[in-house]
Structure 1
Amino acid sequence: MDAWQFGPFAIPWVRLKVALVLLALWGAAGFLARRVDRRLAAWGQNAVLAGLLGARLGFVLANASVYAKDPLSALYVWQGGFDPWWGILAGGGYTLMTLPKHLWRYALGAALAAGLLAGLLFTRQGREEGRLPALTLATLGGTEVNLESFRGKSVVLNAWATWCPPCRRELPMMARLAQENPGVHFLFVSQGEGPLAVRQFLEERGLEAQWVLLDPETRLSQALGVQGLPTTFFFDREGRLVARHLGELSEALLLGYLRALR
């Protein structure tokens, strides 16, 4: 399972794990504040905030050319995009500048406790299990397409729906990157909808229907275990699942996935 699901809402497990690690750091700082020095409580809270800001800033700077097109998008943190090493540097720098030297060892102890939890939660795993499913879907024009026919090229498969706000936001950007990356097949598979709703949405947004496929019975969701929309899957040339992303994608994140896919 890639997400914690509550009714129609799905939160990626990776975000919950990060939240647990940060709460562990905060909690350890609070415990030490009661036992050693109350200043450690404020340090724990501010170190977490500094780490989050640093992680986001580092990711934005690393993708400055993308965010320069729309600077406000740097504030769209719900799309993801955090560099953990920048976060660690920011939190560490804040610690060195604000805590007295005799409290550094306690801060290090709290950080090590959080790091131990992170090691347990983020145990390195191998390649994602799964393959490009052997499903036959139809284009808006009614032509049948077997997904297995796309093997031999890298594939980005996006499960979406017209009623899904994050899907509606990310689809124009993904369609543009599909045109800019002809070496990768982009497939946009509409879930649970018929051709009328999909065609109307594409016309409203001025989007081409190329490689938009219909899946009114949501067979793709069943085959790949989709827990929420949008979900984007990345397959290598042999049809093996390399990565998946639950939730809205930013351009910077998608470009990172494409680099890894190549």
Structure 2
Amino acid sequence: MRKIYLIGIGAGDPDHLTLQAAKAIGRTDVFFLLDKGELKASLVDLRERIVRGYSKPSRRMVTGRDPDRDRTPADYEGTVDDWRSRRSQVIEEMLVEHLKEDETGSFLVWGDPTLYDSSLAILEEVLARGAIDFEYEVIPGISSVSALAAKHRVPLNRVGRPYQVTTGRRLAEGWPEGVDDVVVMLDAQQAFTAYPDVDIFWGAYVGTEDEILRSGRVSEVADEIVKTRTDARTEHGWIMDTYLLRRPQDQ
């Protein structure tokens, strides 16, 4: 039976790799990578660096082209569903062609495979079509959320109180009910600017050599974060950023 590992490799620092992940990498026969284009070559470079450091000499690496998708669609959920389907077809073709029945394959996933990542849903879609059969295991990793809080030296929650992880699209629709602490991912529109009276702990490329951190009252640091984010995206061609918004205790 073929086996696949979905391995969380952390937010960008090679030292985020857990012992469990390193052992799974050492057992892997074939690593599958999706190339997002020249502007995101650094995303592939880190994966290749990890593979070289922990894999067996006989391992193979297979690269497929990650399908493009509209980043500002009118129908967000429909667009994401279509992109996932096209991505699953690319992955299915790679598995059918390159993973033998008695081999183990791995996908190295940024952060944690269970948090705002499509890998689990895509593997389930591949299995459902029935062109190839395999079992799979998820290896958790350090998420960008955990890495962000650690870098800012702040807890994600306050004593006895919940926090919520959401997206920029959802935050733009309104502050979530019942929470005072909100972690936001995937915010291309910088929705935090609508909340000038809360504190923000922002980070981009957390854990990498290009890491940028900013914090303070939104009213005081929003313009700087917006400019920094724009400049960084222009320089690198892509950006990964996450932030925590926290209502002051007296609000």
Normalised-by-shorter TM-score class: under 0.3
TM-score relative to the length of structure 2: 0.26
Identify the structure with the greater strand proportion: 2
Greater RCO, CA 8 A, separation 6+: 2
Larger relative helix fraction: 1
TM norm structure 1? 0.26
Larger radius of gyration: 1
